[in-house]
Amino acid sequence: MNKIKSIAILSNPNNERAIAEGEVVSAYLSEKGVATIYGKLNDDALRAQVMNNSFDLVITLGGDGTVLRTGHLCAPSKVPIMPINFGRFGFLIEVPSDGWKAHVDRMLAGDYWLEKRMMLNVSMIRNGEEIENWQALNDIAIGRGKEMRPVHLRTSLDNKFLTIYVVDALIVSTATGSTAYALAAGGPILPPDLRNLLLVPVAPHLSIDRAIVLAEGSTVKIEMQEYRNTVISVDGHEAVDFLLGDVIEVSASSHSVQIMRFQQAEYFYNSILSLMDQNPSTGARK
């Protein structure tokens, strides 16, 4: 593996512990002779450097949301991410906040592997023109806005009519996102290295109520069947209005997020099983 010479360290700007520890990580790497730049994830100048492929690695301090946002920055330039867990869940993270030095030493010694996770390419088309384009590591969700009524979504697969979903929301997810909103909606858990799309209805009413696993080459097209107050959210970001006549097209992206791993490949099932039935946000961890 190529020697890592320059590292950007990005902390969740809303996590004081992560901000403080980011400086410690930067100092430790500097002592090891590695060029580092430390800042918060919302630092526009540092974000631009990451996107311009100025670093060999990005270390994140935060939770899964921090990894998602950093993935959007790093995927186009193929810069790998080493996440350190300062969040609650850590579905995407294996390096603990109190054990990062050992993992940093392994990283500097080249004792790691890179896990590639597929992203989604999401286009919003209005009046025949693409007006928005997003990359999603987890999922996109199209659902009801302010009105407490189900939305009617005409859905096609590879330009062939599939069904009209009558739902609170419809999720299109990656394997990574299968442990997020899709899991809460009753979808299956997919290993992270699978390059599939997952279609999951939320609270379907007299319409298809099963999740559908699609091949990587599939394209999903979603249109509003009749007007409802409807929004779309990509990777949990601020919702955007989805209007009558708009078309959402979702397919596998050409970009992948590379996450640095130190455990064996089967780590995923050990991790997910340890988190099931003890959601840390409820204080129920055993």
Of the residues 64, 168, 235, 246, only one is catalytic, namely: 64
Q: Which residue has the tokens 């007007």?
A: 227
Pairing of strands 212-214, 160-167: unpaired
The 3-class secondary structure across 154-185, one letter per residue, is EEEECCEEEEEEEECEEEEECCHHHHCHHHHC
Q: Which residue has the tokens 């069904």?
A: 163
End-to-end CA distance of the chain: 39
With contact defined as beta carbons under 8 Å apart, do 190 and 210 qualify? no
Pairing of strands 81-85, 95-96: parallel
- List 231's β-bridge partners, or say none: 143, 241
Local structure of residue 263 (DSSP, 8 states) = S
Taking alpha carbons only, the member of 210, 260, 248 closest to residue 109 is: 260
Decide if 209 is catalytic: no
Local structure of residue 203 (DSSP, 8 states) = S
CB atoms within 10 A of CB 103: 19
Which tokens go with 4?
């890592």
With contact defined as beta carbons under 8 Å apart, do 107 and 58 qualify? no
**Positions marked active-site:** 64
